[in-house]
Every structure is written in C-alpha cells, then in structure tokens.
Structure 1
Amino acid sequence: MSDTQSQGVARSFLLEPDGPYDLAASVRFLEGFTPAAYAPNDDPGLRIAFPVDGTWEPGGALVTSAEHSANVRVECFGEASPDAVLTQIRRILSLDIDGSGYAGVLERDPVLRSLAARRPGLRPVLFFSPYEAAAWAIIGTRIRMTQAAAIKARMARDLGAAVDVGGKIVHAFPAPAVLRDLKSFPGLFGRKVEYLRALGEFAEDRLLDVERLRSTGFDDAKQQLMDLPGIG
C-alpha cells in the first residue's frame, strides 16, 4: 500500500521548444496509448509522476501550455530534484530534441508532410524511463495490453509513492528497491516476479542509465537490454 506522500514545493520552468510542438497532441497520444493508462480528465495539461532516473526519488510534474505560444510551463513536485524532474519531462515529451529543421524535412517529403498534417505538433512521447519500459515489457508478456496496463496501474497505486502534483495525488510506479524485494503481486504469474526483482537490481546498479545507454552503440545497447531476464 502506498505510504509515501511527497509534498515538495513546486518549482516552475518555462520551456521553449526548438521547432513545432503542441502539448495537447502529446496528451491525446497518452490518452490513447494503453500502457500509459492515462485517462482523459479535466486537467489543463499533463499531470504525471515517476521515480526519477538514478536517485529513484519520487517526482511529479504538471505540464501546461503557455498562453498564445508553443511554450510549455513545467511545475515540478515531489522529493526529487526539480532539475532532475525537468530533465526527465523534456525527454519524455521529446523536448530535448532540436526540431527546428523539421519544416525543411516536410518540404522534401510529401508522405511525412501528409502524416504531420494529421498530427500537427506531435512529437514522440516516450516511456517515463527505460526502467519503466522494461517493467512494462515483463508485465505485459502473454496477456492483453489492457490487463497489463491495469496491473501496472495497481502496482503504482499499491506499491509506488503518492505524489501531490499541484493538489492532486498521482501514483508513481514503484522504485527499483521495491521491485527488488517483491515477493508476489496479483496478476503476475510464472517467472514475472522473479524477472521484476532482477530488473530492480539492474536499475539500482545503473545498468539502465539513460545517458549510458544513449552513449553506447546501438548493437551494444540492444544486447545489454536483451540480457535483462524476461526481456531477451
């Protein structure tokens, strides 16, 4: 059961995307992406929580559109460093990528131009971390995506930290230390608990560090991920 409620004071940042971006397009994508289990609501933007890479402290963010511009405002909450939360939000929403040359690409590629016209301002929306992506892959093996999403959401609610994100509680996925000591959980069968325990150990040993994976050659990074129990 969640027994940690993080109540860090908000710190606000204003991000200016390099190139086109529409926060509403990111929100719509998450609402339709089953693994995210992000239900439509009356929030003015995006309200999420997660264990922050490396320290695994709970962090949360309320991301809203700045008035009359493509800029976005990020309010950071929780125990984690606001700068670390901001870095993760930038990566999740692909705002760490320079998209200023996108218009030129669209001019040269009619197929991509047609796709972009149907989803204006949409950038790739990533899993909150490689750790959570790997957990999803293990949880979702041999069951329907809707079942896996429900299990992952219950794990966040029952085992993760509860983060007060601008006055609303959002449950983060459990930190690696919690998975490392996991004994059982409803809906997890076969060797899934064993694999999640191993994932917790891998993450705590920083083997899923984002910058390390990004700086590793594709083939080597792929092999390292395939070596995770329950993945390869």
Structure 2
Amino acid sequence: MEATLAAPGPLDVSGTLARFRLWGEDPASLLADGVFRRAVRVDGRWHGYELRWAGGPDDARLTVRVPGTRRTRVMDAALAQVRRICGLDLDLAAFYQAARREPVLGALVPRLYGLRPTLMPQPFEMLVGAVCAQQVNLAFAFTVRGRLVRRFGTEVAVGGQTVYAFPEAERLARAQVRQLRAMQFTVRKAEYIIGLARQVASGELDLNGLGERSNDEIMSTLTAIRGFGRWTAEWFLARSLGRGDVCPAGDLAVRKAFGHFFARGRLPSEEAVRRRAAAWGEHQSLAVHYLLAGQRLEAAAGGGGT
C-alpha cells in the first residue's frame, strides 16, 4: 500500500531527517540510501513502513509505502508518524517572516531553507531518549539508546531491512537495573527509565493526555517524576508536542549556540539565553533549532564539530 504527501511549505527532507544519523545509527528510525524506515503499531500489531522523497525544498513529495497490508488504518497511522517526523505541521513560513527582523536568523534561513525539527512520534520514546542524553554527548546517548532499543524493542522486517520498534513501557517496566547497567547506563539513569516505564505502564502517568494541557501544567507534571527536570520538560514541549514558545535555555549546546552567534563565543548564562529568546515569542523553538543547525554548519565548514 502506498500514499503520497505534499509538503505544506518548504521542506528539506534530507536535511530534516539527517538527525537520525548525525550522532549515530538509530535502530528505531533507520535512514540509509535515501530511504527512511520505521514501524507503527495498529491494533496490537507492528507494521514497518518506508519513506522516500523527491523534489527540492519548494516542491518536496513524500511517498510512504507500507508493504504487506491494504488496511487504511495502518496507512493513516504511518502517514501521521511521517507528518510528525518531518515537522509538517510546524508553521515554517511564519517563522521565516519573523526571522527577517533578526539579522542572525535572517542570515541562517537561506542556508538552512526548508529545515524542520523532527517531532518524536511517541511521548514515551521522547522521554527515554532525553534520559539517555542527560549529561553526556549525543554520540554516546545514541549508542546507549540503540542498545536499549535492540535489547527491548521488537524486530520488524521492512524492505529487506530490520527496524526495531521502540520498546513499550510495559516491557521496560519489567527490566532490571543490572540489564541497563550492562549497556553502560548509570544506576540512576537505569532507575529513571524503569521508574518512568512503570508509571506509564500502570496508568499512573498519562503521557498521551499531556498535549491537552498548558506548558506550565506539563512542566509541573514532568518535573515531579524522579530524574526529570526543567531541561527534559522543555525539550519534551519542543520536540514531542511541537510547542513553539519554548527555549531549553539550560541546555549547554543551546547556550553555546547563543554564545557563538550573539556573544562572540562567550558562554551566556541560562537567564541571558531566556531573555533573548523571549523576544521571538511563539517562534523560540524553531529559532533554537536553526541556531543549533547553523552552528554545526559553520563548525563543519571550519573543520570543527559540535
């Protein structure tokens, strides 16, 4: 079964999906040879799908193929994931218009034209990934996350490849700390992940219902969970719910990006980053995405890395 999506506005598909290989392989989101593969669960069964694309940023066409089924519900679920993964519901045109009033962002837009943040398809996956990334570099975070996915995820065959469905909360709730320690998680991170999984699996924590709540309510809910602070909650708002009026100012990479573009390389305080970002209002999250990508671009051009 196959369906095609036309992007609503500029979309650089390759640039947007590059994050799935930028810091290492993601076995739950395989990107190789111009094809993106992932799995979606419908009525208790996992289905693998493939995403291919054609055209440039102004005429991008996305083709989604779900082999082995003719069920419309499965295709609809795959298309919904693709919309999130490609950030299709984000108002990039409005951000570009606002960026014209900011010299730094205005200069980055032509260089990164069509780049969109990817939104994680499932909130549980986003939060577990955030724990993996706490206080380590992203390459190591991808490594341990990949080990977790392969150990506790479900293998799904698609297009001659194997993709792993991200582990469900019910399965991670039964995991043991020693199993995660063997993957190089710290004791605390192992406890955080298992504790989160148990809250979700028991119904104590309804992650799917968070999207109906305000930023402050979500922050309060998430920061009450052991191991989850403001940093995690703000990234969740931005990269799971797609909230635009959020700046994860406590993130070191974000502070470095602001320092690179606005403070002549000096590292600004979290408060200084928040003050500057506040001027961008509902476009803060997109601005942060472009600043981070812009710094990586300049580091690569100069032979460095971020």
More helix by share: 2
Whether TM-score is above 0.5 comes out as yes
Cα distance in 2 for partners of 1:192, 1:25 equals 31
**Are the equivalent residues in 2 in contact too, given 1:18–1:99 (CA < 8 A)?**
no
Per the TM alignment, residue 229 of structure 1 is displaced from its structure 2 partner at its CA by 2.2
Unaligned runs of 5+ in 2: 230-306
Structure 2 length as normaliser, TM-score?
Answer: 0.61
Residues 130-178 of structure 1, C-alpha deviations (whole Å, 9 max, x = no match): 2112112223344443333212111212221111222211122211111
Could you tell me how far apart the structure 1 residues matched to 2:65 and 2:119 are?
19
Is residue 14–residue 74 contact of structure 1 (8 Å, CA) maintained in 2? yes
Counterpart secondary structure, 2:18: helix
Which entry has the higher C-alpha Rg, 1 or 2? Answer: 2
After TM superposition, which residue ranges in structure 1, 4 or more long, deviate above 6 angstroms? 37-40
Q: Distance between the aligned counterparts of 1:27 and 1:100, measured in 2?
A: 19
Structure 1 position 162 matched with structure 2 position 161: no
Distance of aligned partners of 1:105 and 1:14 in 2 relative to their CA distance in 1, 3 Å threshold: farther
Tell me what 1:197 maps to.
194
TM-score normalised to the size of structure 1?
Answer: 0.77
- Selected match of 1:65 from 53, 56, 60: 53
Residues 78 and 108 of structure 1, relative CA distance in 2, 3 Å threshold: farther
Measure the CA separation in 1 of the matches of 2:228 and 2:127: 7
Structure 1 residue 195 displacement after superposition: 2.1
Structure 1 unmatched runs, 5+:
1-10
SS at match of 1:191: helix
Query: Do structure 1's residue 22 and structure 2's residue 12 form an aligned pair?
Result: yes
Q: CA deviation at 1:78?
A: 8.6
Task: Considering Cα pairs closer than 8 Å and 6+ residues apart, tell me whether 1 or 2 has the greater RCO.
Answer: 1
- What is the total number of aligned residue pairs between the two structures? 217
Q: Over aligned residue pairs, what C-alpha RMSD do you find?
A: 3.1
Aligned equivalents of 2:46, 2:138: Cα separation in 1: 25
CA–CA distance in structure 1, aligned partners of residues 186 and 100 of structure 2: 50
Take 1:151 and 1:128, find their aligned partners in 2: how far apart are those partners?
20
- In structure 2, the residue matched to 1:132 is 125
CA 75–110 in structure 1, closer or farther in 2 if over 3 Å, else same: farther
Residues 1:176 and 1:44: Cα distance change in structure 2 (over 3 Å):
same
1:181 equivalenced with 2:174 (yes/no) = yes
1:208 and 2:229 equivalent?
A: no
